[in-house]
Amino acid sequence: MNQQLGIVLKSYFHLEHFRTGQKEIIEAVLNGKDVVAMLPTGGGKSLCYQLPGYLLNGPILIVSPLLSLMEDQVEQIKLRGEKSVIALNSTIPFNKRKMYLQSINKYRYIYASPEILQYEYVQNALMKAKISLFVVDEAHCISQWGHDFRPDYSKLGEIRKKLGQPPCLALTATGTSEVLEDIQKILQFRSENKAFIYSIDRPNIALTVEKHKTIDEKITRILHLVRSLKGPGVIYCSSRLWAERLAQILIESGTNGIGYYHGGMDQEQRILIQQQFLYDQLKVVCCTNAFGMGINKQNIRYVIHFHFPAQLESYMQEIGRAGRDRSPSLAITMLTDADYEVPKSLVESEFPTYDKLYRTIYFLQANNNEPVSFEKINEQCGLTEIQWRYIENHLMGLNNLKLKPESLISHIWSEIENRIMIKQEKLRKMTNWLSTEGCRRKKLLAYFNEEYTNPDIRNCCDSCGVDYTIYEGNDESIDQVLEVEWEEELKMIFRKASD
């Protein structure tokens, strides 16, 4: 098998060697085992299911949580010359979706959102396709203990069962022991399964936390860092407003090559920013956590958190976008006393208050539980889109129980209280890490049940000591943003995506 794997690796992926863990995971998959694997961000998880596509009989189904991530992965596969790949999600017109499903057997890779897999007509088509491998990307979304819990992910075990229980590969870059156990339980792993848990440490990334007195002091520091550090870089903000504002401040200071990115932008704008950043036509992107998934850029030199995330899992994923080329890189988190209220408010704003939940359930009952637009829900009950999606998901799950309004409210409110409790506990651990006085890397790895075994890392963290001079020396050539006909570029991108 070793020789066969090497031939496929070189012929289809133009690579000479496997990265840590890839070969072992692929061998277990080809032997029909259920596999859960944790590899660091940038550790080459996609190869673990893409390579078996050339050795297994039947299509590989990959469940992916984000449309932007799915689109990027499909595009990457097409760019290496593989055309037998499709994406099934809500952005694909129904007629085109139907056409894909009618000829589903001819595709080697089928990417699908967890939401689209809930439809019976999609499940029926996939049952006929005889899926050879059921892949769950970002598998931490399955677990209520995961930082990005998605209700539709929790139904994937039943969907896998309907598809004839094909071997399963669950992949994540951030999973505590509780999350990894949940993944195997919900996906209904068989007794003979394999777990490959590799170090998620990124020793080439120095971890630093800076404390500032005011927001103005943080902005002044950002201006200095962007001018002095080697780029490219990513700056994470807590809101769309701050992402735009910080980008504008940098632009007005005379810094070139600055862009911003968040979920409120339309698809063309987001793709434009991604492409400009990927091809070094932007040197810095100020963004929310919507940016990063699927951005396969090797030379990001620094990640700055202008506001810190609400959990260590998110922090680990976001800093992991730096230094994928294994060159020295920097992760800086900036703090003021006021910042501690930001993630707390964000956690609470994800969920409706009891009063809004009550009004929503009785409003739906008054409409005989007929479909209601979000605009109407927002107008009548004051819900945000995220809050409405949360309630809607629970209502779909409880649909068969025929519960009375009081019971619905009681059940959903209990779930909300549980989710808030979990998120607040994760936030507490995040803030504890920020205030630690010992080695930051050691404490960060301990959270993920990993022992720190490499105490001789140069530029480990601010507690152990970091020499900032090795990260300085901004490449001014990147300031010369190339003149590109981006309207034509976008047309080409969308043409490729529709091929």
Strand bridging mode 284-287 / 233-236: parallel
By residue count, the chain amounts to 499
Phi, psi for 207 (deg, rounded to 5): -105, 120
Which contiguous run of DSSP H or E holds residue 191? none
Residues 6+ apart with CB under 8 A from 276: 259, 282, 481, 484, 486
* C-beta pairs of 159-164 under 8 Å, 24+ apart in sequence: 159/117, 159/118, 159/123, 160/134, 160/187, 160/188, 161/188, 162/123, 162/127, 163/61, 163/123, 163/126, 163/127, 163/131, 163/134, 164/127, 164/130, 164/131
pLDDT of residue 335: 96
**Residue 452: C-alpha distances to residues 411, 442, 446 (Å):** 42, 5, 7
Residues 128 and 17 grouped into a single domain = yes
pLDDT of residue 147: 55
Distance of CA 55 to the CA centre of its chain: 28
Number of domains in the chain: 3
Residues 212 and 339 grouped into a single domain = yes
Residues 363 and 307 grouped into a single domain = no
The CATH number covering residue 15 comes to 3.40.50.300
DSSP state of 188: T
Strand bridging mode 193-197 / 205-211: unpaired
* Spatial CA neighbour of 293 closest among 114, 172, 131, 169: 172
pLDDT of residue 392: 84
Residue 24 in tokens:
């072992």
Strand bridging mode 34-38 / 133-136: unpaired
End-to-end CA distance of the chain: 34
**284 and 478 Cβ atoms separated by less than 8 Å:** no
Its sign, for the CA torsion 375, 377, 382, 386, is negative
Q: What is the pLDDT along the chain (499 residues), one digit of tens a residue?
A: 678 899 999 999 989 999 989 999 999 999 999 999 998 877 788 999 999 999 999 999 999 887 767 877 888 898 888 999 999 988 888 888 889 999 999 999 999 998 899 899 999 999 999 999 999 998 888 876 655 667 778 889 999 999 999 999 999 988 788 889 989 999 999 888 888 888 889 999 999 999 999 999 999 999 999 999 998 999 999 999 999 999 999 999 999 999 999 988 987 898 889 889 988 999 999 999 888 766 778 899 999 999 999 999 999 989 999 999 999 999 999 999 999 998 988 888 889 999 999 999 999 988 887 888 889 999 999 998 889 988 887 887 676 567 889 999 999 999 899 989 989 999 999 999 999 989 999 999 999 989 888 778 889 999 999 999 999 986 543 433 334 444 554 454 444 444 4
Of 151, 180, 197, the last residue of a domain is 197
* Spatial CA neighbour of 150 closest among 189, 114, 182: 114
Residues 188 and 115 grouped into a single domain = yes
**Residue 10: C-alpha distances to residues 14, 16, 109, 361 (Å):** 4, 6, 19, 57
DSSP state of 182: H
Residues 307 and 405 grouped into a single domain = no
3-class DSSP state for residue 20?
coil
The parent domain of residue 261 ranges over 205-343+436-498
pLDDT of residue 466: 95
Residue 248 in tokens:
């504008």
pLDDT of residue 148: 63
Q: What is the dihedral of CA 83, 85, 89, 93, to 10 degrees?
A: 40
CA gap 199, 232 in Å, rounded? 26
Residues 364 and 333 grouped into a single domain = no
Residues 6+ apart with CB under 8 A from 407: none
CA gap 105, 128 in Å, rounded? 8
DSSP 421-438: HHHHHHHHHHHHHHT--S
pLDDT of residue 213: 96
Of 197, 227, 248, the last residue of a domain is 197
Number of neighbouring beta carbons within 10 Å of residue 116: 18
* Spatial CA neighbour of 343 closest among 233, 248, 410, 434: 434
DSSP state of 207: E
pLDDT of residue 479: 39
CA gap 83, 62 in Å, rounded? 16
Distance of CA 496 to the CA centre of its chain: 23
Number of neighbouring beta carbons within 10 Å of residue 298: 10
Of 367, 394, 427, the last residue of a domain is 427
Residues 395 and 262 grouped into a single domain = no
DSSP tally for the chain: helices H, then strands E: 19, 13
**Cα angle 466, 467, 468; round to 5:** 105
Quick: pLDDT tens for 181-227.
Answer: 989 999 999 888 888 888 889 999 999 999 999 999 999 999 999 99
Residues 257 and 369 grouped into a single domain = no
**339 and 367 Cβ atoms separated by less than 8 Å:** no
CA gap 125, 59 in Å, rounded? 12
Residues 159 and 295 grouped into a single domain = no
Phi, psi for 330 (deg, rounded to 5): -130, 135
pTM: 0.83
Residues 182 and 83 grouped into a single domain = yes
Residues 339 and 354 grouped into a single domain = no
Residues 108 and 68 grouped into a single domain = yes
